[in-house]
């Protein structure tokens, strides 16, 4: 949005003590008529009736004029389109019982974006605005004939069974149901709204059921979620793979290169958090900074903290000062100190797995999470590196050392990283992936299995688990059973992904087995996206292989901090260490075995000084 004309807000100053906000009243219009509205202020203390809009601002350089209180204000094209559609097509959602149009709150207009003090005050009212709104309207963007069809089908569920989409007695989903699945998961749920940070708080705080608007159609959250969870999945019907591909080609625009996309946040996860907010009035910090913020994007780096402020408990809210003038890293450092001093157990057990840290000196302590640099990953990918439980929770020792500058963490020093290879975050072709898998295969053979493996007294060789390379790259608590893909041996799966058809059984290697091979490859790519893509493969001096955060380098140190679910990689720095991030290390997953070695004084314990 371009800089607002400050005179629009003349005569409408907001009194923070009365929890005052501004709301819009849309004037009548139709078609492509210009948007005209009136802006007024109300107090949340008076329980006004209004709807709150949740949307993506869009490109700030693409604007359109709207008339507010007789003056022109340039807003983003995204907001103008939302206001037009609400005015033209969604009057039944936005009118009261008498037929009068309800007021609307939209942040880009109702907050003076040029006034940083006002922005800071209004940020602290987000909880009240979205929880007291009559309805939260979520604008996903313009619709198509395909989204219209899918939303009509979703709305049809409320007239039938509560169980959602059901496969017909013949055992095959209908083409209509396949079409809904493709539109829902590869169009509607791929819209930018699912990735924006602010809108997640807006959705969770809604007191009533949120309503999703897509072009001229709307659907309530419960039906959208029910559809997402019950539409047939291609993986369950390998014999219909051709039907799914046919529908995708008809609906989805050709890929621009990235074949395996990462969505913003999983709908089931979002629903669980919404239920928690409605029951508890807040969500734990571990879910806020370690989960809800995953794959989130924000225009202002301060908002990686302020965008969730309304979801925190009062204790933590009061310890985070809203100030858009300070350096974002200073804000992150103060929040990091809050997390390490007041939520250390949760930090070690949950949050640290998905936070980004600076192993290189960036002018701030490495225990400061860089909230704006979290890598975009699947909604559960952080668990791919972790064990099911924390190790030695009873021995957690977290404290600030040296006048509060350095952070002390107790754990074991395990080994040093010797060789590394970083895997990119996406691949346009399977051949591009195989190039990297060949490199990993070679490193695994030389440094884990072969003659280049070092012989050392510490760490003990007995901890090695004997995992295959495929197990190392796929094994995690996210998988069920002994095999990464049920019905196939690990050797068959590896040879399929590597394209070694001459080693496969005849029925699988033949042209008739191509569909099965494609499904195995697709499934394995999904697993790899969680554990391998955008991560670094490494082998330690003693031949322990692992997979961890992308910043791991040769010379880094593998540790296991008490209270964590996964090893922590540290980087020696002068007389201290800096946090690099977490990793999965073969042999350090079975904590019963680790306990046995620890109790026999076979592991080196110390307090690490994190600078």
Q: In whole angstroms, give the CA distance from residue 580 to residue 561.
A: 13
Q: In whole angstroms, give the CA distance from residue 31 to residue 39.
A: 22
Query: Is the domain of 488 the same as that of 511?
Result: yes
Pair type for strands 103-105 and 50-54: parallel
SS3 assignment for 215-263: CCEEEEHHHHHHHHHHCCCHHHCHHHHHHHHHHHHHHCCCCCCCCCCCC
Is the separation of the CB atoms in 317 and 201 below 8 Å? no
Query: Is the domain of 137 the same as that of 62?
Result: yes
pLDDT tens-digit map of 297-321: 888 999 999 999 889 988 898 899 9
Q: In whole angstroms, give the CA distance from residue 230 to residue 210.
A: 20
- Copy the structure tokens of residue 485: 């893909």
240 assigned to some structural domain: no
Non-local CB neighbours of 78 within 8 Å, separated by 6+ positions: 55, 56, 57, 58, 59, 139, 141
278 assigned to some structural domain: no
Alpha carbon 169 to its chain centroid, in Å, reads 37
**What are the Cα distances from residue 23, in Å, to 40, 129, 141, 528, 598?**
6, 11, 22, 47, 62
Return the CA Rg of the chain: 27
Q: For 292-307, give one letter per residue: b (16+ CB within 10 A) or e.
A: bbbbbebeebbbbbbb
Q: Which of 508, 531, 554 is the last residue in one of the domains?
A: 531
Q: In whole angstroms, give the CA distance from residue 404 to residue 108.
A: 40
Non-local CB neighbours of 282 within 8 Å, separated by 6+ positions: 311, 312, 313
- Provide the pLDDT for residue 455: 63
CA atoms within 13 Å, Cβ hemisphere of 261: 14
Q: In whole angstroms, give the CA distance from residue 482 to residue 479.
A: 8
Q: In whole angstroms, give the CA distance from residue 446 to residue 244.
A: 42
Q: In whole angstroms, give the CA distance from residue 531 to residue 535.
A: 7
Query: Is the domain of 469 the same as that of 517?
Result: yes
Query: Is the domain of 506 the same as that of 579?
Result: no
Non-local CB neighbours of 560 within 8 Å, separated by 6+ positions: 391, 411, 412, 414, 567, 568, 588, 594
Query: Is the domain of 166 the same as that of 125?
Result: yes
Is the separation of the CB atoms in 268 and 229 below 8 Å? yes
269 assigned to some structural domain: no
Helices 175-186 & 241-251 angle (0-180, nearest 10): 60
- Copy the structure tokens of residue 85: 């559609």
Element holding 481 (H helix, E strand): none
**What are the Cα distances from residue 528, in Å, to 13, 322, 324, 354, 569?**
53, 39, 39, 17, 21
Tally of domains within the chain: 3
Query: Is the domain of 161 the same as that of 291?
Result: no
- Provide the pLDDT for residue 479: 56
Alpha carbon 564 to its chain centroid, in Å, reads 21
Is the separation of the CB atoms in 527 and 474 below 8 Å? yes
- Provide the pLDDT for residue 571: 98
6 assigned to some structural domain: no
State the Cα torsion 496-378-150-178 to the nearest 10°. Answer: 20
pLDDT averages per 10-residue partition of the chain, 611 residues: 62 92 93 93 95 93 94 94 92 70 92 91 92 95 95 79 55 88 92 91 93 96 93 82 86 51 72 90 81 83 92 90 94 96 93 91 96 70 80 95 92 96 88 94 92 68 85 74 72 92 89 85 84 93 94 97 96 96 90 89 93 96
Query: Is the domain of 441 the same as that of 398?
Result: no
Biggest CA–CA distance in the chain, Å, is: 83
Alpha carbon 417 to its chain centroid, in Å, reads 29
Q: In whole angstroms, give the CA distance from residue 353 to residue 569.
A: 11
Please identify which residue in the block is written with the tokens 């979520």.
138
Query: Is the domain of 525 the same as that of 487?
Result: yes
Query: Is the domain of 358 the same as that of 496?
Result: no
Q: Which long-range contacts (CB under 8 A, 24 or more apart) does 2-6 make?
A: 2/60, 2/63, 2/74, 3/113, 3/114, 4/73, 4/109, 4/112, 4/113, 4/114, 5/71, 5/72, 5/73, 6/112, 6/114
Would you give the DSSP letter of residue 5?
-
- Copy the structure tokens of residue 493: 């799966």
Domain that holds residue 499: 427-446+465-531
Is the separation of the CB atoms in 104 and 26 below 8 Å? yes
pLDDT tens-digit map of 88-109: 888 777 776 666 778 999 999 9
Is the separation of the CB atoms in 569 and 455 below 8 Å? no
Query: Is the domain of 100 the same as that of 47?
Result: yes
Is the separation of the CB atoms in 399 and 421 below 8 Å? no
337 assigned to some structural domain: yes
The 103-105 sheet, strands edge to edge: 71-76, 63-68, 36-43, 20-26, 103-105, 50-54, 135-141, 211-214, 217-220
Would you give the DSSP letter of residue 447?
I
274 assigned to some structural domain: no
Query: Is the domain of 374 the same as that of 402?
Result: yes
Query: Is the domain of 442 the same as that of 409?
Result: no
457 assigned to some structural domain: no
Give the global pTM: 0.86
472 assigned to some structural domain: yes
Alpha carbon 333 to its chain centroid, in Å, reads 22
**What are the Cα distances from residue 268, in Å, to 274, 304, 488?**
10, 22, 29
Is the separation of the CB atoms in 604 and 591 below 8 Å? no
- Provide the pLDDT for residue 228: 92
Q: Which of 505, 531, 557 is the last residue in one of the domains?
A: 531
Pair type for strands 211-214 and 217-220: antiparallel
């Amino acid at each position: 949005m371009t800089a607002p004309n400050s005179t629009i807000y003349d005569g409408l100053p907001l009194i923070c003590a009365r929890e005052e906000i501004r709301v819009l009243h849309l004037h009548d219009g139709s078609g492509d008529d210009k948007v005209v509205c009136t802006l007024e202020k109300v107090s949340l203390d008076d329980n006004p009736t209004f709807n709150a809009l949740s949307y993506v601002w869009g490109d700030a350089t693409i604007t359109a004029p709207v008339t507010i209180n007789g003056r022109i204000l340039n807003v983003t094209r995204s907001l103008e389109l939302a206001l037009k559609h609400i005015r033209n097509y969604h009057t039944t959602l936005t009118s009261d019982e008498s037929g009068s149009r309800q007021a609307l709150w939209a942040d880009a207009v109702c907050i003076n974006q040029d006034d940083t003090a006002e922005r800071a005050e209004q940020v602290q009212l987000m909880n009240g605005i979205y929880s007291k709104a009559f309805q939260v309207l979520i604008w996903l963007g313009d619709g198509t004939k395909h989204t219209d069809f899918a939303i009509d089908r979703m709305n049809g569920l409320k007239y039938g069974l509560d169980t959602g989409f059901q496969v017909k007695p013949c055992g095959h989903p209908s083409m209509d149901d396949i079409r809904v699945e493709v539109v829902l998961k590869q169009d509607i749920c791929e819209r930018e709204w699912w990735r924006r940070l602010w809108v997640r708080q807006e959705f969770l705080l809604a007191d009533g059921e949120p309503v999703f608007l897509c072009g001229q159609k709307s659907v309530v959250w419960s039906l959208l979620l029910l559809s997402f969870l019950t539409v047939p999945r291609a993986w369950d019907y390998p014999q219909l793979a051709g039907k799914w591909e046919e529908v995708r080609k008809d609906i989805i625009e050709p890929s621009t290169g990235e074949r395996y996309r990462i969505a913003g946040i999983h709908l089931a996860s979002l629903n669980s958090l919404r239920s928690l907010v409605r029951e508890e009035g807040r969500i734990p910090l571990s879910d806020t900074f370690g989960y809800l913020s995953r794959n989130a994007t924000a225009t202002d780096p301060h908002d990686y903290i302020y965008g969730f402020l309304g979801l925190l408990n009062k204790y933590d809210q009061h310890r985070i000062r809203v100030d858009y003038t300070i350096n974002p890293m200073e804000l992150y450092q103060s929040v990091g100190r809050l997390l390490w001093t007041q939520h250390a157990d949760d930090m070690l057990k949950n949050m640290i797995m998905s936070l980004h840290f600076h192993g290189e000196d960036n002018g701030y302590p490495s225990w400061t999470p860089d909230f704006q640099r979290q890598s975009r990953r699947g909604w559960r990918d952080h668990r791919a590196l972790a064990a099911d439980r924390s190790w030695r929770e009873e021995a957690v020792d977290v404290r600030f050392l040296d006048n509060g500058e350095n952070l002390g963490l107790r754990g074991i020093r395990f080994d040093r990283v010797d060789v590394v290879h970083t895997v990119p975050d996406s691949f346009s072709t399977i051949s591009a992936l195989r190039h990297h898998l060949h490199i990993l295969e070679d490193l695994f053979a030389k440094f884990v299995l072969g003659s280049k493996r070092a012989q050392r007294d510490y760490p003990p060789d007995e901890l090695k688990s004997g995992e295959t390379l495929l197990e190392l790259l796929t094994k995690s608590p996210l998988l069920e059973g002994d095999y990464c893909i049920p019905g196939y041996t690990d050797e068959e799966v590896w040879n399929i992904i590597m394209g070694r058809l001459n080693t496969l059984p005849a029925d699988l290697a033949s042209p008739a087995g191509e569909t099965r091979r494609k499904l195995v490859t697709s499934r394995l790519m999904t697993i790899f996206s969680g554990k391998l893509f955008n991560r670094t493969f490494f082998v330690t001096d003693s031949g322990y292989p692992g997979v961890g955060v992308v910043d791991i380098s040769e010379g880094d140190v593998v540790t296991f901090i008490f209270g964590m679910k996964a090893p922590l990689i540290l980087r020696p720095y002068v007389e201290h260490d800096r946090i690099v991030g977490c990793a999965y290390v073969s042999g350090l997953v079975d904590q019963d075995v680790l306990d046995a070695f620890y109790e026999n004084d076979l592991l080196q314990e110390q307090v690490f000084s994190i600078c």
